[in-house]
């Protein structure tokens, strides 16, 4: 991006400003806005004007009862004041991302000025990658920058199709996307060894491709969260009412074998914090993960597993973490995930490179107050997962 001369240009940029809002429209976490700032300020300081596009939520999936769009809830107007504060310059707003007002306001922009467009997902064509919408959006600027890593795995009008309307010299990825890819590549292609991957979350079915690929790249794979119980079941363990995907038992066995064949150490939590029901206030007990009582379920890793996992993490040169190790939303079952967050932070302090690969592990590291103590926290849940799985991201491919 830094090779492009932005002076006096109108730059159309797609960012991921899909921030959480409270019921009054106040931003409750502005991380996504702050992560786009280096790109936005670079372009403004280079003497350009900015036309900013983003989506916010899924407005067409949550229509008003009369079938109209709930503009009040999903408008990007909620972001104008805070963006003005962050950029230190008054941000203008257009009530539709295409049409006369957007055209007029963008044509009148002077260098240093900023126009924020209304939610791109107010148009049904956006998520379908519609060409007509993409062409109209493209008509607003002279250079297209995509810095929305969080939606880079979507072939939408403003993230992918739009790039067809710009020549290679007039389109680029922004600094955030560059950083996301650089960090993912560092972990996957040139890891300082040992390379430890920590994979948690609810379902093994969501993470199979990732685990399969990591078996070819990592030295140690730590498996936690709900998905661990499918592995225990596959080893004939008694898992009570723990989460399990019975269709995936063979696959779990295959992964165990493949890891062994590749000399990859696959670590499962030997013990679990078990609960008598799926509730924070359930009766609790620590148990062997292979011997969970009928009616009980594993909701977090146990103290032995915490110790084993922490030791593996602390001896690592590279750490990739995707997915919580337990139901960390329940305070009584969050300790396992937090202990992993602390171990990753400590290993980073000792010189390891650590990448927090998006989604719930990002909320976990934030909740633990340790996001500044790891090397890189990804802004893209699904996008990072797909990139790590080895898939091509349409939003990046479109840039040529």
Q: Which residues bind ligand AMP (CB under 6 A)?
A: 201-203, 206, 225-226, 243, 298-299, 323-324, 326-327, 329, 359-360
CB-CB contact of 311 with 255 (8 Å): no
The rounded distance, in Å, linking the Cα atoms of 216 and 231 is 19
The dihedrals phi and psi of 138, each to the nearest 5 degrees, come to -60, -30
Name the residue nearer to ligand AMP (CB basis): 11 or 275. 275
Name the residue nearer to ligand AMP (CB basis): 201 or 394. 201
- Which one is catalytic: 141, 359, 380, 381? 359
The rounded distance, in Å, linking the Cα atoms of 60 and 64 is 9
Name the residue nearer to ligand AMP (CB basis): 41 or 288. 288
Alpha carbons within 13 angstroms on the beta-carbon side of residue 270 total 7
Name the residue nearer to ligand AMP (CB basis): 326 or 394. 326
Helix (H, G, I), strand (E, B) or coil at 296: coil
Q: Catalytic annotation on 81? A: no
CB-CB contact of 17 with 76 (8 Å): yes
The rounded distance, in Å, linking the Cα atoms of 304 and 120 is 49
Q: How far is the CB of 322 from ligand AMP (least distance, A)?
A: 7
Name the residue nearer to ligand AMP (CB basis): 147 or 300. 300
The CB-nearest residue to ligand AMP is 201
- Which one is catalytic: 9, 32, 121, 171? 32
Q: How far is the CB of 33 from ligand AMP (least distance, A)?
A: 23
Could you write out the DSSP letters of every residue in 109-146? PPTT-EEEEP-GGGSTTGGGT-HHHHHHHHTT-SEEEE
- Which one is catalytic: 131, 203, 258, 342? 203
Name the residue nearer to ligand AMP (CB basis): 141 or 226. 226
**Exposure b/e, 57-68, CB count within 10 A at least 16 = b:** bebbeeeeeeee
Could you write out the DSSP letters of every residue in 171-229? EEE-HHHHHHHHHHHHHHHSPPSSEEEEE-SS-HHHHHHHHHHHTTT-SEEEE-STTHH
The rounded distance, in Å, linking the Cα atoms of 382 and 131 is 24
Q: How far is the CB of 202 from ligand AMP (least distance, A)?
A: 3
Q: Catalytic annotation on 225? A: no
Name the residue nearer to ligand AMP (CB basis): 285 or 329. 329
Report the phi/psi class of residue 390: left, alpha or beta, with left for phi > 0 and alpha for psi in -120 to 50. Answer: left
Give 151's strand partners: none
The rounded distance, in Å, linking the Cα atoms of 335 and 81 is 37
Q: How far is the CB of 211 from ligand AMP (least distance, A)?
A: 12
Name the residue nearer to ligand AMP (CB basis): 73 or 213. 213
Q: Catalytic annotation on 382? A: yes
CB-CB contact of 335 with 312 (8 Å): no
Q: How far is the CB of 326 from ligand AMP (least distance, A)?
A: 5
Q: Strands 10-14 and 91-94: what pairing?
A: unpaired
Tokens of 229: 């119980």
Q: Catalytic annotation on 154? A: no
- Which one is catalytic: 57, 315, 317, 382? 382
Residues with catalytic annotation? 32, 203, 359, 382
């Amino acid at each position: 991006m830094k090779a492009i001369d932005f002076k006096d240009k109108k730059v159309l940029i797609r960012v991921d400003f899909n921030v959480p809002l409270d019921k009054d429209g106040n931003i409750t976490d502005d991380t996504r806005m702050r992560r786009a700032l280096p790109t936005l300020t670079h372009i403004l300081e280079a003497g350009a004007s900015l036309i900013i596009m983003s989506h916010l939520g899924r407005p067409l999936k949550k229509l008003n009862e009369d079938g109209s769009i709930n503009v009040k809830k999903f408008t990007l107007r909620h972001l104008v004041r805070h963006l003005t504060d962050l950029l230190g310059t008054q941000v203008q707003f257009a009530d539709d991302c295409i049409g006369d007002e957007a055209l007029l306001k963008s044509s009148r922009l002077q260098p240093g000025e900023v126009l924020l467009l209304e939610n791109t997902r107010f148009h049904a064509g956006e998520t379908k990658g519609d060409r007509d919408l993409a062409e109209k959006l493209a008509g607003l600027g002279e250079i297209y920058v995509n810095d929305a890593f969080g939606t880079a795995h979507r072939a939408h009008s403003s993230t992918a199709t739009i790039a067809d309307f710009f020549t290679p010299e007039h389109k680029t990825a922004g600094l955030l996307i560059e950083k996301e890819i650089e960090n993912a590549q560092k972990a996957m292609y040139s890891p300082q060894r040992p390379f430890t991957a920590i994979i948690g979350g609810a379902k093994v079915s969501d993470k199979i491709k990732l685990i399969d690929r990591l078996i070819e790249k990592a030295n140690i794979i730590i498996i936690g969260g709900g998905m661990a119980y499918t592995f225990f079941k596959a080893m004939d363990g008694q898992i009570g009412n723990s989460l399990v995907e019975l269709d995936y038992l063979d696959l779990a066995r295959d992964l165990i074998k493949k890891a062994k064949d590749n000399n990859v150490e696959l670590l499962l939590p030997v013990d679990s914090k078990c609960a008598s029901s799926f509730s924070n206030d359930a009766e609790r007990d620590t148990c062997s993960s292979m011997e969970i009582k009928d009616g009980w379920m594993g909701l977090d890793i146990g103290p032995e597993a915490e110790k084993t996992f922490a030791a593996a993490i602390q001896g690592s040169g590279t750490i990739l973490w995707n997915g919580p190790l337990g139901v960390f939303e329940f305070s009584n079952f969050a300790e396992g995930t937090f202990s992993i967050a602390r171990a990753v932070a400590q290993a980073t302090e000792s010189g390891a490179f650590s990448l927090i690969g998006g989604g719930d592990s990002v909320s976990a590291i934030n909740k633990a107050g340790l996001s500044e103590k790891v090397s890189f926290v990804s802004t893209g849940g699904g996008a990072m997962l797909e990139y790590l799985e080895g898939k091509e991201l349409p939003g990046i491919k479109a840039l040529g």
